[in-house]
């Protein structure tokens, strides 16, 4: 066996395998604010979706640097789920840290957030875009120095009186919304799994507008 082939078998194959493994690793980030008083608020839908995603798996979150994390394995894919502990408006710091620590490519990042411009429960996945006035997304854009990252927006509607936006966003779900929330959370969980298994374009085609 030639020296080049031996060297490739020792080093090249290992590097190639590591590259393949990295492409199968994803960072799924639910945005929210820590603390009991925020737990059931509309602004914390990112946390709520991740909690629903792992509920049937009985996988606990562990408090680590800059957030609570857990790992979900799905058909050869590794999903690292992150609920930042930096509060919503400083989410970028936690995301940047865990992307770099886990060596996850930017295209395998998915950020889950609430959206006032979408009807309640609507799902919209995009590969880029502005922060839309959302302070959490604004900080992520600042820390990552790009607007080109995948974001999954969950509609919370805009049925609030003039000047009451903050109260609405930081308010708890209405009784009617709570009745419909479980079905919407399941759909959101299916979207995340599809993102990891089928890719962002197929997932957008299947779930956007539902």
Does 43 qualify as catalytic in the annotation? yes
pLDDT of residue 165 exceeding 90, the answer is: no
What's the pLDDT tens digit per position in 27-53?
Answer: 999 999 999 999 999 999 999 999 999
String of DSSP letters for 119-179: -TT-EEEESS---TT-HHHHHHHHHHT-S-SEEEEEE------TT-HHHHHTSBPPHHHHH
Question: What's the pLDDT band for 187 if we cut at 50, 70, 90?
Answer: very high
Three-class DSSP category at 96: helix
Instruction: Calculate mean pLDDT across residues 126-146.
Output: 91
The pTM (predicted TM-score) of the whole model is 0.89
pLDDT above 70 for 1: no
pLDDT in tens, 113-126: 999 989 999 999 99
Per the residue annotation, which of 42, 43, 153, 184 is the catalytic one? 43
Helices 135-144 and 91-101: crossing angle, nearest 10°?
40
d(CA 165, CA 155): 14
Architecture of the domain defined by 21-207: 3-Layer(aba) Sandwich (3.40)
């Amino acid at each position: 066996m030639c020296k080049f082939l031996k060297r490739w078998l020792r080093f090249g194959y290992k590097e190639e395998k590591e590259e393949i493994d990295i492409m199968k690793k994803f960072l799924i980030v639910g945005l929210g604010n820590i603390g009991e008083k925020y737990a059931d608020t509309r602004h914390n839908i990112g946390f709520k979706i991740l909690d629903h995603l792992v509920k049937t798996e009985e996988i606990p979150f562990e408090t680590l640097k800059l957030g609570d994390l857990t790992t979900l394995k799905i058909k050869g894919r590794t999903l690292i789920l992150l609920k930042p502990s930096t509060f919503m408006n400083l989410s970028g710091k936690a995301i940047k840290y865990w992307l770099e620590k886990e060596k996850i490519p930017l295209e395998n990042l998915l950020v889950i957030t609430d959206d006032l411009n979408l009807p309640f429960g609507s799902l919209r996945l995009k590969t880029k875009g502005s922060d839309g006035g959302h302070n959490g997304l604004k900080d992520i854009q600042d820390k990552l120095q790009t607007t080109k990252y995948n974001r999954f927006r969950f509609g919370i509607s805009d049925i609030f009186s003039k000047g009451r936006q903050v109260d609405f966003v930081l308010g708890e779900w209405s009784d009617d919304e709570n009745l419909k929330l479980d079905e919407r959370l399941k759909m959101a969980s299916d979207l995340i799994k599809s993102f990891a298994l089928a890719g962002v374009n197929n997932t957008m085609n299947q779930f956007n507008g539902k």
